Amino acid sequence: MNTIKTQKKTAFNIQLFGKGWYHTPSVSARGYIYDPSGTLYKGEDLCAYFTVRNIEELQKRLEQANGLFAVICHSATLNAAAVDSSRIYPLYYRVDRENGYLISDDAYKILRHTDTLDTISKMEYQSAGFPLYGKTLVSDIKQVRPGHYLTEEGEQHQYYTYLTRSHELTIANSQQMGEMLQNVFRRMVHSIGERQVVIPLSGGNDSRLILCMLKKMGYRKVICYTVGRENNIEEKIAKKVAKELNYPLYIINPTKTEIKELVQLDSHEFQQYYQFIGELSNFVWLFEYAAINYLRKIKAIEQNAIFIPGHSADYNAGSHLTKACIGQKSSTEYMVRAIMHEHFEYEFQPKLKNNIRNYFNIKKQDQIENWSIYQAFIFENRLPYNINNSARVYEFFGYEVRLPYWDKEFLEFFRKIHIKQLEMQNFYTHTIRQHIFIPMKVDFEQKQENRVFFYKRKIRNRIKHLLPITILRLRKNTNDILGERELAEPMLEELIQHGIYRNKRYAISANQIMKDWYLMKVRQVLHAN
């Protein structure tokens, strides 16, 4: 543990436990950034970049920083903590009346014996898989929100926004997108050096694009892997892509016996893992954990390898924005329902709807349309707290991660292109197919990504909220092509053993099993305290 000794009694009591932190007398930081001139800062240089005299200077440095980072300023003139827009390195805090704010990268380390579950956070977690707006499952523990900084007064200020005013939108062309991609991946490759790169390769566009860009740049030290049921659609396409680009691909089709070896709930390692990945706010991802365990077992990964998952190009490009979402008649109520149907499972509580409705009311400004607020909600909540959190499994095993689609230039490009180009990610899909996939002979269509499938899913999501939970439990899940239910089987058995589930049919999905299992573990910890 690193307990930071400051130059004076400050409002911050800092306790850091993760690897990768660098410290100076006034700054603690981890990660890396590029400044507007293209200079790379990491290690002690990153601390120097954030060594500023006041909050105004800090905000300017944060606005200019492009990368993955967390920073805590603890000088005689400034106390503040910030994370980048991806929140890949989370920071947690609570108010301590005697010592100011307790700040840590480990939420469990600032738990108190008097802590209790927050009722609203629990409902949000059970429904969406994470509490909204920087909360945790525990009432008195909060998170520094993505793209925000925390001051010693306890206020959070946003330095990066996803909101876009109508007059800022422009029509982009394929050449501009090509130049942007070159810049993004050139920075990424530069930050990697000559280290091994590991790509979780699916059948979708986003991980394929990463592999194509690495190929275009001549980066050879790359391996790929794919996980799931034997001969599933993701695996079939991943095989074709890896073969055409001449990169090695590891296919992971674990049997039930192998799953029990890869995911041992009672092992010391897994006990550490579930707390690391859960952090009182997230469910426990098993898919990635099993995959990394397998790759380590066969010694496919080098010790200093860097993982590059394809999070979240599709959302940047507008995969969630239908014609109805961007239409003139898309009211706040319509968008609230769209969020509930798409991102919340089986919970239709009025309190949750009011929470989301209030978000729209707060963000509503002149020339900002509802679709932009919808976009901001996803980028400030679901993506950093849920999707990006799955990438922290790599950190648990001691590996670094890169998220090229969270590069600021990539974010800004799609934040400001015309809404018609964002609809159903039309521009993004067309451009990468015509200018990258087809020339590189990897234009293999994934059946699930077509427009018909998308609208079928939308309709299914709306219908399921009208059905009683008892009916939903009778429905057989036919979409589990990756075998996630088998991975979650040990958790399911434990939930039944503790009387939380009546039987195996009680569970609707693998995600629900993982959420309820972790919630059970949090309750046990709070009860023990």
- Which conformational region is residue 126 in: left (phi greater than 0), alpha (psi within -120 to 50 degrees), or beta? alpha
For the chain, what's the residue count?
529
Domain boundaries, the chain: 2-115+138-158, 172-315+386-451, 467-529
Question: Considering just the CA atoms, what is the radius of gyration of the chain in Å?
Answer: 23
Q: What's the confidence (pLDDT) of residue 6?
A: 45
CB 100 within 8 A of CB 152: yes
The neighbouring-strand residues paired with 5 are none
172: tokens are 């982009």
Tens of pLDDT, residue by residue, the chain (529 residues): 665 644 444 578 999 999 999 999 999 999 999 999 999 999 999 999 999 999 999 999 999 999 999 999 999 999 999 999 999 999 999 987 676 789 999 999 999 999 999 999 999 999 999 999 999 999 999 999 999 999 998 899 999 999 999 889 999 999 999 999 999 999 999 999 999 999 999 999 999 999 999 999 999 999 999 998 888 889 999 999 999 999 999 999 988 788 888 899 999 999 999 999 999 999 899 989 999 999 999 999 999 999 999 999 999 999 989 888 887 668 999 999 889 888 887 655 677 889 999 999 999 888 899 999 999 999 999 999 999 999 999 999 999 999 999 999 999 999 999 999 999 999 999 999 999 999 999 999 765 444 554 455 555 555 555 555 455 554 555 556 667 888 898 999 999 999 999 988 888 788 899 999 999 999 999 988 7
- Choosing among 3.60.20.10, 3.40.50.150, 3.40.50.720, 3.30.70.270, the CATH entry for 2-115+138-158 is 3.60.20.10
Report which DSSP code applies to 153.
T
Q: Look at strands 27-34 and 40-42 and give their pairing.
A: antiparallel
Closest-CA residue to 156 (of 59, 241, 26)? 59
Which residue type, as a one-letter code, is found at position 347?
E
132-167: burial string, b at 16+ Cβ within 10 Å, e else: bbbbbbbbbbbbbbbbbbbbbeeebbebbebbbeee
Q: State how far Cα 82 lies from the chain centre.
A: 17
Q: What's the confidence (pLDDT) of residue 509?
A: 85
Q: What's the confidence (pLDDT) of residue 218?
A: 97
Q: Which residues contact 107 (CB under 8 A, 6 or more apart)?
A: 92, 136, 138, 141, 279, 280, 281
Class of domain 172-315+386-451: alpha beta
Q: What's the confidence (pLDDT) of residue 343?
A: 87
Q: Report the SS3 class of residue 158.
A: strand
Closest-CA residue to 458 (of 350, 311, 325, 355)? 325
Closest-CA residue to 199 (of 253, 238, 254)? 238
- The predicted-structure confidence for 59-107, as pLDDT tens digits, reads as follows 999 999 999 999 999 999 999 999 999 999 999 999 876 767 899 999 9
Q: What's the confidence (pLDDT) of residue 463?
A: 54
User: Strand (E) positions, 38-109?
Assistant: 40-42, 66-74, 79-83, 92-96, 100-104
Q: How far is CA 245 from CA 183, 216, 249, 305, 321, in A?
A: 21, 10, 11, 20, 32
CB 389 within 8 A of CB 277: yes
Distance CA 103, CA 91 (A): 7
411: tokens are 């974010």
Q: What's the confidence (pLDDT) of residue 327?
A: 78
Q: Which residues contact 110 (CB under 8 A, 6 or more apart)?
A: 15, 92, 93, 94, 102, 104, 141
Report which DSSP code applies to 406.
G
